[in-house]
Structure formats: structure tokens, C-alpha cells
């Protein structure tokens, strides 16, 4: 309903004809030149192989669109990847660890939803990048024999809440929770399964807030449908790698992924 002025200066009200629903995706070829490798990289990371690389998906797509639009487009794609991930690893997750991680991550999602419009996504990216690089520096120091203990539980809760927050803002939840999980030296399959279940819950919790913020419009959803067939390809490649790779090599690749992610997010947030 809209208000229109009449000849007497008063307003009369009439029904506004609803706009026709148009499932028209983005057609810019430059967008897909960046989005296709970003989605494949995200799928490989969601399977557990190359942990940390998935956080590059939104920054990559932000080269050709805005961060909120990139995050909204990836929501349906992430849902498909999450389902494929738990199907592949449905019996391998660490249940007690998940009971600790999920409430902390959801608290971070809530903070992200409440503060979304008050935050600069670039600043959040910069914070995540700096924390990731600090963690890597600590792990390198620990690998030289200074300290090899897992992080304390309270710090794990804080990092996991940060993961939920950064996941909501820019789908960059991997690095903070990796900072807690990787020092545990879990079996690669157990690690991957636990991450798959955690982020299934986290990503499902973001749908209603994203809708309320107006991010799930028809163009974004249509573009997501175009990209969704790439999801199983990326996950399949990553699952095969995760199940076949030597654990030592797995963690070297994971740390490499986090290093590249930290550098890219730091550049986007503080230097660009």
C-alpha cells in the first residue's frame, strides 16, 4: 500500500501492484570467472582438505561484488556442501567436542546478527587475518619444542564464538576455530567430520537473520542455483584427498591454507 497526494493536499492510499518475481541470476562473465574457482575452493575446504582455504571464497568474490552479496550468494551453496559433508563423515565426528563447540559458535552468530550493520566487513576481515597469523606464529614456536599443549578450554570457547561471529559476517569462520582444533592433533577424518557438523549448525542458524537483513533476494538466490552444481565436485575432490593423505602432510597443508588466508584477510582489512 502506498500514499498518493490528491488535489486537496491530503494523502489517499491505494494498493501497490506487487513486482513480479524474477529468478534472474547475475550474468556478468567476470563474476563467474572469480566465483567458479571460489566455490570449488570452498568445497574442497568444506571436505576438510586444505583447511582455511574456504575462508578465501568471500574475499575472492568480493573482487567482483560486495561482501554482503557474496556471502548471501554462498548461503545455499554452503547448505549443499554441509549436507554432503555430513553424509561423507556421518559416523566420524567427536560428539563431546561438538557439545562444547556448538553453543559457543551460536553465541558468536547472535553477536554477528545484532551488530551486522554497525560493522565494517573489511575491519572484521583484518581482525580475523591478524589472529590467524598470530596463531601460526605460536604454532611454529611450539613446533620447535617450546610448548605442544592444546589450548585451554576457555580460550577454545572464545575462539569458537569468534568463529561464529566471523562466519556470519563473511563466511570466514574457519581460522578462529582451527586455532583451537588443530593443536589437538585430531585424526584428519575426525577433525573433518567435527567441522562439518559444526558448520552445518552454524550455517543453518544464519538463514533467518540473513533474510531479515534483506540479503536473500531473488537475484542472489538465482545466482546461487547456477553455482550449486559445483558444490559436490569440490566436496568430492576434498573428501578423496582427506581420506588418502598422510596426517603429517594434511596438517602442513592446513597450516599453509591458514597462512594464505591470514595474509589475504589482513591485506583486505588493513592494507587495501
Distance CA 50, CA 257 (A): 6
Q: Is residue 191 part of a domain?
A: yes
Residues 69-114 have pLDDT tens digits of 888 899 999 888 888 878 877 778 889 999 999 999 999 999 999 9
Distance CA 4, CA 14 (A): 8
Q: Which residue has the higher pLDDT, 60 or 218?
A: 218
CB atoms within 10 A of CB 19: 7
Q: Is residue 6 part of a domain?
A: no
Q: Is residue 11 part of a domain?
A: no
Q: Is residue 91 part of a domain?
A: yes
Q: Is residue 114 part of a domain?
A: yes
91 dihedral zone (left: phi>0; alpha: psi -120 to 50; beta): alpha
Q: Is residue 7 part of a domain?
A: no
Query: What percentage of the chain carries pLDDT values higher than 90?
Result: 18
The DSSP output letter for 158 is: H
Residues 187-233 have pLDDT tens digits of 878 888 888 899 899 999 999 999 888 888 888 899 999 999 988 88
Residues 155-179 have pLDDT tens digits of 999 999 999 998 888 777 877 888 8
Q: Which helix (H) or strand (E) holds 11?
A: strand 11-14
Q: Which residue has the higher pLDDT, 122 or 111?
A: 111
Residues 6+ apart with CB under 8 A from 255: 136, 139, 182
Residues 6+ apart with CB under 8 A from 210: 71, 72, 75, 216
pLDDT over threshold 70, residue 13: no
Nearest to 153 by CA among 110, 116, 183, 114: 183
Q: The domain containing residue 81 runs over which residues? A: 26-271
Q: Is residue 56 part of a domain?
A: yes
Distance CA 175, CA 129 (A): 8
Residue with cell 562444547: 100
Average pLDDT, the chain: 79
Residues 216-228 have pLDDT tens digits of 888 889 999 999 9
- Structure confidence at residue 19 (pLDDT): 44
Q: Is residue 13 part of a domain?
A: no
Q: Is the pTM of this model over 0.75?
A: no
Count of structural domains, the chain: 1
Question: 180: pLDDT confidence band, cut at 50, 70 and 90?
Answer: confident
pLDDT over threshold 60, residue 56: yes
Amino acid at each position: 500500500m502506498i500514499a498518493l497526494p490528491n488535489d486537496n493536499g491530503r494523502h489517499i492510499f491505494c494498493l501497490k501492484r506487487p513486482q513480479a518475481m524474477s529468478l534472474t541470476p547475475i550474468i556478468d562473465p567476470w563474476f563467474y570467472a572469480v566465483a567458479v574457482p571460489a566455490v570449488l575452493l570452498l568445497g574442497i575446504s568444506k571436505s576438510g582438505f586444505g583447511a582455511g582455504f574456504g575462508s578465501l571464497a568471500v574475499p575472492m568474490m568480493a573482487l567482483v561484488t560486495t561482501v554482503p552479496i557474496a556471502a548471501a550468494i554462498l548461503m545455499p551453496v554452503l547448505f549443499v556442501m554441509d549436507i554432503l559433508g555430513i553424509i561423507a563423515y556421518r559416523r566420524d565426528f567427536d560428539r563431546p567436542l561438538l557439545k562444547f563447540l556448538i553453543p559457543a559458535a551460536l553465541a558468536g552468530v547472535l553477536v554477528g546478527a545484532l551488530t551486522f550493520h554497525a560493522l565494517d566487513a573489511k575491519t572484521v576481515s583484518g581482525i580475523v587475518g591478524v589472529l590467524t597469523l598470530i596463531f601460526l606464529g605460536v604454532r611454529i614456536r611450539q613446533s620447535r619444542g617450546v610448548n605442544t599443549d592444546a589450548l585451554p578450554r576457555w580460550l577454545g570457547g572464545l575462539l569458537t564464538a569468534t568463529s561464529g561471529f566471523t562466519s556470519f559476517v563473511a563466511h570466514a569462520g574457519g581460522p578462529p576455530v582451527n586455532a583451537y582444533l588443530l593443536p589437538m592433533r585430531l585424526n584428519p577424518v575426525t577433525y573433518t567430520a567435527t567441522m562439518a557438523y559444526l558448520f552445518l549448525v552454524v550455517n543453518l542458524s544464519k538463514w533467518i537473520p540473513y533474510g531479515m537483513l534483506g540479503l536473500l533476494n531473488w537475484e542472489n538466490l538465482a545466482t546461487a542455483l547456477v553455482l550449486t552444481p559445483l558444490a559436490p565436485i569440490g566436496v568430492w575432490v576434498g573428501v578423496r584427498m582427506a581420506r588418502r593423505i598422510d596426517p603429517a602432510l594434511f596438517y602442513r597443508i592446513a597450516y599453509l591454507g591458514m597462512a594464505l588466508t591470514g595474509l589475504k584477510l589482513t591485506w583486505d582489512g588493513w592494507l587495501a
